[in-house]
Amino acid sequence: MSADPEGLESLLLPAIEGLGFRLWGVDYRSSPKHAHLKIFIDHDDGIQVDDCSAVSHQVAGVLDVEDPITVAYTLEVSSPGIERPLMKLEHYQLYIGKEVKIRLTWSVNNRKNFLGTLVRVDGDEIVIAVDGEEFSFPVNAVKRANLVYDGKM
C-alpha cells in the first residue's frame, strides 16, 4: 500500500464509515521530509469539531498500525465546507448547473482558470460554460476545483 490519495482512501474508508461519516476525499501532499494528509468528511447533519476529532483519532490509529506514510506527517480532518472541493467525477455530477471555480494543470485555449456553470460530465470530461462559451477538459487536467457559494443553503 503506497501513500497515494486512492490508496489512502481505500485504507481509511472503513474506519470513517464505521463512525457514520462519508469520506468526501483525501488531499495528500508530500516532500522527502514531511507530508500533509487532509481528509474531508461529510454527513447529512453537517460536521462539528467533535466529529473531526473522533475521525482524526480513529484514522491516526489506522495509520499507526498500517504505516503507509514513511515520513513525518501532519493529519488534518475537516468538512468539505460550503465551497467544497470537487475531487471526483461523482462530485461534479452532484453539482451540474452550479457555479464552479476550476484551475487546470495545463492550459486549455490559453487559460488555466475558469469560473462558470458546470454544464455536464461526459465520461471523464467536464464541461463548463463561461460567458456563453463551453469549455471541455478531462478531469485529470484539473489541479483544483471548488463549488462557488451562491448565498443559498
Structural domain boundaries of the chain?
A: 5-78, 89-147
- Per CATH, the architecture of 89-147 is what? Roll (2.30)
Per the CB < 8 A criterion, the answer to whether 135 and 127 are in contact is yes
pLDDT 10s digits, 40-82: 999 999 999 999 999 999 999 999 999 999 999 999 999 999 9
Only one residue has cell 487532509, namely 38
User: Do the domains at 5-78 and 89-147 have one common CATH topology?
Assistant: no
pLDDT 10s digits, 124-151: 999 999 999 999 999 999 999 999 998 8
- Per CATH, the architecture of 5-78 is what? 2-Layer Sandwich (3.30)
Distance, in Å, from the CA atom of 97 to the CA atom of 75, rounded to the nearest integer, reads 33
